[in-house]
Amino acid sequence: MSKSNRKAPDDRLRLAEGRREAILELLQAQRAVTVAEIEERFGISPMTARRDLAELERQGSARRTHGGAVLPSTSSHEDSFSARMATATAAKRALAVAAAATVEDGEALFLDSSTTAYHLAEVLIRDDRPVTVVTNSLPIIDLVSSNARETIELIAAGGQLRRISRSFVGPVAVEALKRHWTDRAFLSVKGIAPDGTLTDADPLEAEVKRAMIAQAGQATLLVDGGKLDRRGLSVIGPVSDCSDVLVAGLAADSDLLSAIDVPGVAVRRLDEGDDAPSPEEASA
């Protein structure tokens, strides 16, 4: 075989990553896939199909079964970043506007890889706020580097890229975060257990959020109402690690706030009237 016909290692890696993303999309649509189905659809060997499923299981995106895989249990299931961007949008925008209003000019901020933090970054850019943003979120890095003026300083925490969340995680990311102190941390979670424990779908994401909380002078939890009746697989820590919680999109008669009603944590509930237009709508 000539050198021109050989695929470089980087090319093979990209092909494998793209195929696994396609397998994950198929799994999320059907909730289950078989090795035979993957073989036929992608034209690969049974060994390669099993290797792909094993990697998706390692990432927490699938659970292996005899002959295939299924979506993980509710506690560990995680939607992609793009899918999460399309859910609870009004509540997340309301949270972003309310959170931005509490930020002082000149502050340094941790923003996690949540879509709510992404909306907060949009507001900070729209209002041209003079702040420093430290983040492990690739979408926020792209957003700030492409759209923000020089008033917003950007510090990116690199590491292992989780493609489903488009975030950098792992020891390198955590070590990068530990090299910085910030005034504030803004984060969201997969869910909150009835005892007030903050949880995430992935242990590496949970580790990053713990580091942000520990390195920030004040941590603010941003949650839409749907986070109060579910929980993720991995523990981040107690809600009491946060100084305050902003909640939006919760039914008026809901009793779910009891999970975060703990001493020392200020809870602010946003009404529907607190919602705000997107940055694009505001500038139209």
Report the CATH number at residue 234: 3.40.50.1360
Gap between the Cα atoms of 212 and 113, Å rounded: 11
State which of 70, 103, 124 marks the end of a domain.
70
Same domain assignment for residues 29 and 167: no
Range of the domain at 15: 3-70
Q: What is the pLDDT of residues 168-212, one digit of tens each?
A: 999 999 999 999 999 999 999 998 988 889 999 889 999 999 999
259 within domain boundaries: yes
What global pTM score does this model have? 0.70
Same domain assignment for residues 59 and 181: no
Same domain assignment for residues 198 and 129: yes
State which of 34, 51, 70 marks the end of a domain.
70
Can you give the C-alpha Rg of the chain in angstroms? 20
284 residues of the chain, pLDDT tens digit each: 444 445 566 677 778 888 998 998 888 877 788 999 999 999 999 999 999 998 888 876 777 877 888 776 544 556 788 888 888 899 999 999 999 999 999 999 999 999 999 999 999 999 999 999 999 999 999 999 999 888 999 999 999 999 989 999 999 999 999 999 999 999 999 989 888 899 998 899 999 999 999 999 999 999 988 787 677 888 999 999 999 999 998 766 566 788 888 899 999 999 744 444 443 333 33
State which of 18, 50, 70 marks the end of a domain.
70
**CB-side exposure of 182: number of CA atoms within 13 Å?**
31
Q: Write the CATH number for 64.
A: 1.10.10.10
Same domain assignment for residues 43 and 142: no
Question: What's the total number of domains in the chain?
Answer: 2
User: Sign of dihedral through CA atoms 19, 20, 26, 32?
Assistant: positive
184 within domain boundaries: yes
Same domain assignment for residues 15 and 43: yes
Gap between the Cα atoms of 79 and 63, Å rounded: 15
Same domain assignment for residues 120 and 246: yes
75 within domain boundaries: no
